[in-house]
Structure 1
């Protein structure tokens, strides 16, 4: 799985950019109500983009012991991500799962971390779904896998067509689930 490199975070440059943006928007970044804004925004983005630093190979290590190969499906994992086109948030939920194969079984929290790792990056929903699917395939080598993301995009709600509340669904299936998905992946 080709993962994105970890970008370096330059707090001073980030704060300077926010100050410049505020000036560009006709605001005074030195006004009492805005003086801490550059620092707060820089910290917000450092948190928001923390997914680049996650080592998914380390996260998706199989559990020890001989576990039954039963389907593992987590439904409605909440996520918030950032549209790379507008730097606007999109949020929704993910349903991801797999039927263990030669790669074994991982702890349930590890699946949540996969969703978070890709959500906490500049993203588009379609790529995020593919990245999650690729991580499952690469690290778990399952007999079957599924990824279903449903999200509402503020870039669509607040600009352009200005249509709030329209969910976007992206679904990918593989292995034996490609033709016969379990109920949580049937929409």
Structure 2
């Protein structure tokens, strides 16, 4: 957050409000530029983070079977329209040599990658690549499903539509049976 120029954001918000014909001195809008600047600082807090930092500590367990954390909620901002998209991430990996991460680290990785102007496809591949690099598992499978406000509020105007992206690395890219196993667990309620 140290690099965020709050004053510059406030000025930009005032300019946008004026450009759409609003009175920035109107009571309801007086503090809006400050609120938006603080919100943007929070929503873009992942810009200066490296998601690999969450995997500096790993554990060695006698476990080389599926690890799946599903329904990890996240939100992000579409870099094309600067409107939110939000949804759930599902992360599976097959540990190699018993090298596992703390479960909360998977959620922190998603949050860090999502908290920047972003594309859903990039979040999916960045999370998968980070786990492959840091945990060196046999494979990683990441599925993200999200609703994009740029499709809900403007353009197509189709609320409730979901975009699903997936990335398979290692054995999950090579083995349909393993991939289907993960999908079946994701679909379980």
The normalised TM-score by structure 1 is 0.90
Task: State the match for 2:134 in structure 1.
Answer: 139
> Aligned pair 1:156/2:151, yes or no?
yes
SS in 2 for 1:171: strand
Task: State the match for 1:176 in structure 2.
Answer: 171
After superposition, residues 40-59 of structure 1 pair within 5 angstroms as 40-59=35-54
Task: State the match for 2:183 in structure 1.
Answer: 185
The separation in 1 between residues aligned to 2:122 and 2:59, in whole angstroms, is 31
Structure 2: which 5+ residue stretches go unaligned?
none
After superposition, residues 90-129 of structure 1 pair within 5 angstroms as 90-101=85-96, 104-129=99-124
Deviations 1:122-168 (A, max 9, x none): 11111111111111111111111110000111101111111111111
After superposition, residues 11-22 of structure 1 pair within 5 angstroms as 11-22=6-17
Structure 1: which 5+ residue stretches go unaligned?
1-5
Deviations 1:48-90 (A, max 9, x none): 0011232323211243444422321101101111111111111
Aligned-residue RMSD, C-alpha:
1.9
More helix by share: 2
How many residue pairs match? The answer is: 182
The separation in 2 between residues aligned to 1:103 and 1:36, in whole angstroms, is 52
In the TM superposition, structure 1's runs of 4+ consecutive aligned residues that sit over 3 Å from their partners are 64-67
The normalised TM-score by structure 2 is 0.89
CA gap 1:35/1:123 in 2 versus in 1, 3 angstroms: same
